[in-house]
Structure 1
């Protein structure tokens, strides 16, 4: 029986999915893993046909698992389900993931996706030790729609011994529709480049599995004949490439150093970069990145001088020379520099603001009052934002999540900043080492909420005066139950409502919301649609069927405009809905308006009295 590996740190999710999919127990068996390490062990031990995984988990993340599968086990389809959403997340996972779901997932939709994924694994066949070109020509003759998986043998001199011991390494896949190559993947290569690489291989093991042609996106548009001719030319160049392979480890040193700098791991980046420039002293790029990794002013100056000598017109080198000039004028020779996380400028350890890009660093020496979006170099910060998003496309990195939020905070884009802080909070809350970071994030969220309120109040003095009058005339504060699983969004909503004179009760999921309703009777419920454990639709239904709670007005919260049409039927018993992100004045206006309609006549009359 085929095995489906379910990877999620929430035991309740495992129980709910297994119960929902029990009717398919004759088609597949669910194997459970609660973190990435456990999942990796199971993949090495068991014959897994398909994976369903969350993205954000303690002790590792789904991005790492997906990356491992994409590099080593592309024959295993991967389905992603997550409560979180990074910008353009689905586009980043394209080509690596069989299907993407936003939690909560309907059980039948998940079951259908699993069955489609398993179907793609059926009818696998080992086609033996032939050239890839020969097999493609055979498939073209038979008009076959399939995926060809290519494996290269290990180092055994006896190829039969290698096959017997399964000593082969996965290299890539060709996707054929009626015998024509539509797509290919080989390592980091895709499309035509990957197809040419695979077609030029010989002495490989090839296996096939039939596919539904609807699941194949065409990225190769040349004919098979054209590709085969190009592959023959590629073979002629393979000997030259083999001679150049000795250079590849050196290039990897540079790539590793750059990657570590992009992850803001400057001290770790020094070793590979120093090794690289030692053997490649004429590489301006190597000297430039080394100058960004070292901390002593003399070493920074020396590395930059070499980079400038080799490429004096290089824009980034000229820019970094100017950064060092600003730093070097004030720095002592024995001072160790820190790096601006946004533009890499060298800075004094106690710096609060970068002297080059003008961004607030949000360190222990910086105050939120140092934020000045009007002064920052937007070009440099947007370049940093793109760099952070590239890192986060490969891994959920707490440090990069923090600075991704920080860069958008400096750009005055609060909505994007909250997106990253929202992902960061559940990660740092479970690790005592991140206590200071957690405190800083909380201050930032409070700052965002306060800034939004001030922005909304400034141009509307009459509205503010009326709201204050209504609040002052009320004897008791009205109570709002906020049901929202995002800690940052929940905090912003709470602070906004409290500033409007409301008492706030919080719940992080549907189960806690029902528990709070047993102890308190709120005047209104703000209810997120997308909740863990019990979603907002079900909570709304429970409230309206209960005689004690059916009169409580409910405002539904949703994250995306595009799903409004889908949920209109569910919202018939709700008083209103708000699409996130919303402005503080909009939230106050909607909540006050609904509560005014439901308030006793004596309270309404009091609201109309002059202040």
Structure 2
């Protein structure tokens, strides 16, 4: 029987999926793993696993690590990703690595259908690109075939004449065989023996054949097939050695760039120095080395080499200008701006891109989106998104949020800080970062009119474009708060504030969704905005208080309106409290704790739950 490996650290997810997929037990069996190490051990131990379903964010290593392991050890094994980790470019990055991607919470039947498709298609391999030209020629020689062999890497088996006519970039060339013997060849500008050797050394290509009229064929290859094949193999071996050396060098440069983009400049120096040692005429290598080193003299020396090699390169000129701002004062090692890589001494803001580095609490009050270089910050945000599409990196999550905070786009900034919070809350190494994020959330909450939506960017919310990830938490001792708020920025601030206070948060963007969520779950409290689309907050409150199952749930009304009539209506509508936005996170936590403490830990739980 086929087996499906489910990898997720949440036992609730395992239980939900297992209960739904039981009806397919005659087709496949679920194997459970709760972390990366257990998953890898299961794959090595059990040869019957035919498909993998995995989350991205997990303790002890992330899902990207597992995907890399699968590509290396089990490249033919289909993989489905289910994740609440949603960032730009993630879907595109995963597209080449996985069979399908689902956003949590996922419908179990949809997942079951995807698993069945994955199992069905597992062994359907394309036979394109499986042949070497040498193998085809040897077959033709045995059969004494007269034909023209067209060699190309196009995904379509179109005729070579069409390739030439359409100037197809994937076209490679043709071999002309008479009774199995190679008489002529063309490959780009090469003809005769040179072209034949080039084509015979190719592998992983598509080869198609057509009839050949040999009567007018001019023979330009006079060596035997055997001689050509031997020489082609020698040429191929030499080319492979050269390619391997070149690939090793390129890997050094790629590794250095990757480490720079992850803001690990010290680690990036070793591969970049090794690269420029062997490739002294490569300007890109010197440019990236200048961004990695922290000694001002070495920075200027590396930039001098890059400028000498490519004096008109705009990237080189930009880095030269950044280094010039150091002047001659800095003799000790300096730091790098995480946004634009500019070298600088310890400063609260970058002198180049003008972005605040958030190194001190007072920096939040000095944020000025009017002076920052938006182009450089948006470039940095793009780099951070590429890194985060490949790994869950706390440092990059923080600076991605910081980039958008400098741009006054609070909606996007909170998206990244929201993803960061669950990671730093459970790791003592990030205590200082957790304090910084808390200060940032309080700054946004207390200084912005959050009900306007769209953050500082002021863009309208598109349906489904910014669905928040739902964290399914199996810790039953956490109290649950339903937040009903149509502004995505306000919702994120409230969610992060409550999670930092130890609460589990359910979200709804309007009254209809709120009532639907109340059918599925019984929260300990509802935070309810008054101004909502479809059904306003007062109407929802009335519905809750008339229902015997929900009437005891305390409700806190949220509104930015400060008119007396709204406060009077709030007090007359059986709400437990009334909060005017913007409010400080500490004020929200105080109100929530005060109301729940009065009711007691079990007062608002359903009778069935209390009986347990």
Matches within 5 A, 1:259-338: 259-329=258-328, 331-333=329-331, 335-338=332-335
Cα 1:535–1:98 change in 2 (3 A) is farther
- How many residues align structurally? 455
* Inter-CA distance 428–496: structure 2 relative to 1 (3 Å threshold): closer
Q: Any idea what SS the aligned residue of 1:4 has?
A: strand
Which position in structure 1 is the counterpart of 2:336?
339
Partner of 2:403: 407
1:32 maps to 2:32:
yes
Q: Which residue of 1 aligns with 2:587?
A: none
Alignment of 1:313-462 (within 5 A): 313-329=312-328, 331-333=329-331, 335-348=332-345, 350-364=346-360, 367-453=363-449
Residues 484 and 528, structure 2, Cα contact 8 Å, conserved in 1:
no
Report Cα offsets for 1:162-212 as digits up to 9, x if no partner: xxxxxxxxxxx9999xx999xxxxxxxxxx97999xx999899x9xxxxxx
CA distance in 2, matches of 1:133, 1:380: 51
Secondary structure of the residue that 2:263 maps to in structure 1? coil
User: Given that residues 445 and 491 in structure 1 are in contact (C-alpha distance below 8 angstroms), is that contact kept between their aligned partners in structure 2?
Assistant: no
- Alignment check: 8 A CA contact 1:257 1:269 kept: yes
Aligned ranges 1:487-566 → 2 under 5 Å: 492-493=493-494, 507-509=503-505, 527=508, 537-540=516-519
- Residue 242 of structure 1 corresponds to 240
* 2:572 corresponds to 1:600: yes
Mark the CA change 1:60 to 1:591 in structure 2 (over 3 Å): closer, same or farther: farther
CA contact (8 A) 2:56 2:64 kept: yes
Q: State the shift of 1:488 in Å.
A: 8.9
SS in 2 for 1:483: strand
Question: Does the 8 A contact of 1:8 with 1:53 survive in 2?
Answer: yes
Contact 2:481 2:527 in 1 (8 A): no
In structure 2, how many angstroms separate the alpha carbons of the residues matched to 1:338 and 1:507?
Answer: 38
Change in CA separation of 1:133 and 1:400 when aligned onto 2, cut-off 3 Å: farther
Alpha-carbon separation, structure 2, partners of 1:279 and 1:323 = 27
CA contact (8 A) 1:381 1:407 kept: yes
Whether the aligned pair in 2 keeps the contact of 1:484 and 1:507 (CA below 8 Å) is no
CA distance in 2, matches of 1:591, 1:421: 33
Distance in 1 between the 2:172 and 2:18 partners? 39
Unaligned runs of 5+ in 2: 140-152, 160-168, 174-198, 211-231, 454-478, 535-539, 546-556, 576-612
Shift of 1:326: 0.7
- With structure 1 as the length reference, what TM-score do the two structures score? 0.63
- Whether the 8 Å CA contact 2:81–2:100 is kept in 1: the answer is yes
Instruction: Name the SS of the counterpart of 1:60 in structure 2.
Output: coil
Q: CA deviation at 1:273?
A: 1.0
Post-superposition offset of 1:538: 5.0
- In structure 2, the CA distance between the partners of 1:110 and 1:132, relative to structure 1 (3 Å rule), is farther
Q: Distance in 1 between matches of 2:574 and 2:114?
A: 56
Taking the aligned partners of 2:562 and 2:20, their CA distance within structure 1 comes to 38
Aligned to 1:18: 18
Q: 2:578 — aligned with what?
A: none
Sort the Cα spacing of 1:328 and 1:39 in 2 relative to 1 into closer, same or farther, 3 A. Answer: farther
Conserved? CA contact 1:449–1:495, under 8 Å: no
Contact 2:480 2:504 in 1 (8 A): no
Structure 1, unmatched stretches of 5+, are 139-172, 182-191, 207-222, 228-234, 458-479, 498-503, 511-525, 565-569, 576-584, 604-611
C-alpha distance in 2 between matches for 1:602 and 1:416: 35
Q: Deviations over 1:194-247 (max 9, x none)?
A: 999xx999899x9xxxxxxxxxxxxxxxx97499xxxxxxx9995674252223
C-alpha change, 1:130 and 1:250, in structure 2 (3 Å) is closer
Question: In the TM superposition, what whole-angstrom CA distance separates every residue of 1:55-78 from its partner, at most 9, and x where no partner exists?
Answer: 111222122323443455342221
What secondary structure is seen at the aligned counterpart in 2 of 1:367?
A: helix
Q: Which residue of 2 aligns with 1:51?
A: 52
Deviation at 1:2, TM superposition (A): 0.8
- Aligned to 1:56, the other structure's residue is in SS state coil
- The aligned residue for residue 193 of structure 2 is none
Q: Is the 8 A contact 1:483 1:528 kept in 2?
A: no
Measured after TM superposition, the shift of residue 332 of structure 1 is 3.0
3-state DSSP of counterpart to 2:408: coil
Aligned equivalents of 1:122, 1:70: Cα separation in 2? 16
CA shift, 1:32, in A, is 1.1
CA distance in 2, matches of 1:539, 1:425: 26
> Is this contact kept in 1: 2:296–2:334, CA < 8 A?
yes
Please report how far the alpha carbon of residue 125 of structure 1 lies from its aligned counterpart in structure 2 after TM superposition.
Answer: 11
What's the TM-score, normalizing by structure 2?
0.63
Deviation at 1:601, TM superposition (A): 8.2
Does structure 1 residue 254 correspond to structure 2 residue 249?
Answer: no
Q: How far off its partner does 1:37 sit? A: 2.4
1:300, CA displacement in angstroms?
1.3
Distance in 1 between residues matched to 2:563 and 2:342, nearest whole Å:
47
SS in structure 1 opposite 2:325? helix
Q: 1:288 to 1:19 in 2, by over 3 A?
A: same
SS of equivalent to 1:394: coil
SS in 1 for 2:449: helix
Larger radius of gyration: 2
Contact 2:201–2:236, Cα closer than 8 Å, also in 1: no
Alignment of 1:143-292 (within 5 A): 225=208, 238=236, 241-245=239-243, 246-292=245-291
> Does the aligned pair in 2 maintain the 1:284–1:308 contact within 8 Å?
yes
- 8 Å Cα contact 1:270-1:290 kept in structure 2: yes
In 2, are the aligned partners of 1:485 and 1:509 still within 8 Å (CA)? Answer: no
Q: Distance in 1 between matches of 2:347 and 2:273?
A: 27
Is the contact between residue 408 and residue 417 of structure 1 (CA under 8 Å) also seen in structure 2? yes
In terms of mean alpha carbon deviation, does 54-63 or 361-370 score higher? 361-370
Q: Measured at CA, do residues 18 and 289 of structure 1 come closer, stay the same or move farther in structure 2, by a change above 3 Å?
A: same
